[in-house]
Chains A and B, each alone.
Chain A
Amino acid sequence: DSGVTQTPKHLITATGQRVTLRCSPRSGDLSVYWYQQSLDQGLQFLIQYYNGEERAKGNILERFSAQQFPDLHSELNLSSLELGDSALYFCASSVGEGTLPSGANVLTFGAGSRLTVL
């Protein structure tokens, strides 16, 4: 599958714990984006990486961190988890960096990782 791959699909954990979500971008894409989707807030942009470097930051909590590795896969680390962190976390990728209007900036989404914090 050359699309965006996210693991795990589902994750259940307890408050205070730490989890890592993984994303492999579509083949050839250099940018990775993380979004959080909760019931009331819709899709909220968290952070973007391009070719290993952080490019843009959105509403990402200090308890959350991310990185993009040399093979372009990315990980989102969520720590000191709270009940309110329960959400669907989407990864998306694009070819371009996102600085200019271009078809290279169209996002391809993964299936998401559903996190439940009990």
Chain B
Amino acid sequence: AQRVTQPEKLLSVFKGAPVELKCNYSYSGSPELFWYVQYSRQRLQLLLRHISRESIKGFTADLNKGETSFHLKKPFAQEEDSAMYYCALKGNTPLVFGKGTRLSVIA
């Protein structure tokens, strides 16, 4: 079975502080991992995916197969990063999402 766990429902950080949104997954095969983000009053949209190995809006995420994790990181949080973040896994079925973490960046 495919499962994604985001242990934190809410994460509050101060502007300029580092951010780490945790994501752990369960899948026996080779997964494809994604982070999606939903800003206030906007649609759910792709932030980044592990295959691209890119940095988007200062965010990075590294797939750690040993720890089955795909944590999202940013060295310096900005107020505009406040949003709902979802980790998602694609194995042999369509995307399975975690329950999401709400990031609140405090000025």
Contacts and interface: CB of A to CB of B under 8 A. Distances in A.
A42 B97 contact: yes
Interface in B78-107: 86, 90, 93-100
Interface stretch (B12-20, B44-52, B64-72): B44-52
* Interface size classification for chain B: 10 to 19
B46 A107 contact: yes
Interface string A76-118: 0000000000000010100000100100011111111000000
Given A90-B44, A111-B43, A105 B90 contact: yes
* Interface size classification for chain A: 20 to 34
B102 to A, nearest CB: 12
A42 B100 contact: yes
A109 B93 CA distance: 17
A68 interface: no
A43 B97 contact: yes
A45 B95 contact: yes
A112 B43 CA distance: 8
A41 B49 CA distance: 23
B106 to A, nearest CB: 25
Contacts of B8: none
Interface in B31-50: 32, 34, 43-46, 49
A109 B43 contact: yes
A24 interface: no
Given A42-B99, A101-B32, A109-B44, A56 B51 contact: no
B44 A42 contact: no
B93 A107 contact: no
15 contacts: A35-B97, A41-B99, A43-B97, A45-B95, A45-B97, A56-B94, A58-B94, A101-B51, A105-B32, A105-B90, A106-B46, A107-B95, A109-B43, A109-B44, A110-B43
Given A98-B90, A109-B43, 10 more contacts: A43-B86, A43-B97, A45-B97, A56-B93, A105-B32, A105-B90, A106-B34, A106-B49, A109-B44, A111-B43
